[in-house]
Structure 1
Amino acid sequence: MDSKLKRGCLVNGIFILSILGSIIKTCSFFINKFTAKLDPSLTSSNTSIAITTLMGAIYLVVLIGAWFWNQMCIYAILPVNLISIVYNLSTQQIITGRIIGYIINILINCFFVYSLLKIQKLRMEQSFQCN
């Protein structure tokens, strides 16, 4: 299998999982209401849910913008992700496993942004060669 094809499959997989994650974060308000019915001790504060929903919606917009190769949106993926991680660290207990997970998340998103920028650069070079 060609390495470019592998990279494309990996980038598309990361993209699809990121979209699904941001949709779930955007729907966290409804998920919180559902969990409140099941177990009231699992509910989060309204402020926390509002911020999580807002971060999910912003990340979804950034990912959709990156899908259409808007370079500004590609550059916005990492800062939005970092803001989300900092917020999650401030609201949850800091444990080693969670920090390792966030570091892996940052590395995956760095690879994702690098691959998107490289793909965009290759497409621009191909369009200049055709002209």
Structure 2
Amino acid sequence: MDSKLKRGCLVNGIFILLILGSIINICSFFINKFIVKLDPSLASSNTSIAITTVIGAIYLVVLIGAWLWSQMCIYAILPVKLISIVYSLSLQKITTGVIIGSVIGILINCFFVYSLLKIQKLRMEQSVQGN
């Protein structure tokens, strides 16, 4: 299998998983309502749910914008993800597992942004060579 094809499949897979994650964050309000019905002690505060929903919506818009090759949106992926991770760390008890998960999330997003920028650069070079 060609390395470019592997990279394309990996980037598409990461993109789909990131989209699903941001949609789940947007739906966190409804998920919290369901959790409250099951176990009231697990309820999150309304402010926490609102912030998570807003971050999820912003991340979804940034991902879709990046997929449409807007370079500004590509550069916005990492800051939005860092804000999301810092906020989630502020809500959770910080343990080794949480820190490792956060680092892995940042590394995956760094790879995703790098791949998008590399793909964009290749497309620009091909369009210049075609003219």
> For the superposition of Structure 1 and Structure 2, which TM-score range results when normalised by the shorter chain?
over 0.9
Q: Which residue identity does 1:74 align to in structure 2?
A: I
Q: Does 1:32 align with 2:32?
A: yes
Distance (whole Å) between structure 1 residues aligned to residue 34 and residue 90 of structure 2: 24
Q: Which residue identity does 2:92 align to in structure 1?
A: Q
Q: Does 1:117 align with 2:108?
A: no
Q: Does 1:4 align with 2:4?
A: yes
Q: Which residue identity does 2:130 align to in structure 1?
A: C
Equivalence map 1:4-23=2 (5 Å): 4-23=4-23
2:67 alignment partner in structure 1: 67
Q: Which runs of 5+ in 1 are unaligned?
A: none
Distance (whole Å) between structure 2 residues aligned to residue 91 and residue 34 of structure 1: 20
Question: What TM-score comes out, normalization by structure 1 length?
Answer: 0.99
Question: What TM-score comes out, normalization by structure 2 length?
Answer: 0.99
Q: Which consecutive segments of 4 or more residues in structure 1 shift more than 6 A?
A: none
Distance (whole Å) between structure 2 residues aligned to residue 41 and residue 6 of structure 1: 45
Aligned length: 131
Q: Which residue identity does 2:106 align to in structure 1?
A: I
Distance (whole Å) between structure 1 residues aligned to residue 89 and residue 31 of structure 2: 21
| % identity of equivalent residues | 84
| CA deviations over 1:37-83 (Å, ceiling 9, x no partner) | 11111110000000000000000000010110000000000000000
Q: Which residue identity does 1:44 align to in structure 2?
A: S
Root-mean-square deviation (Å): 0.5
| CA deviations over 1:74-125 (Å, ceiling 9, x no partner) | 0000000000000111111000011001001101100000000000000000
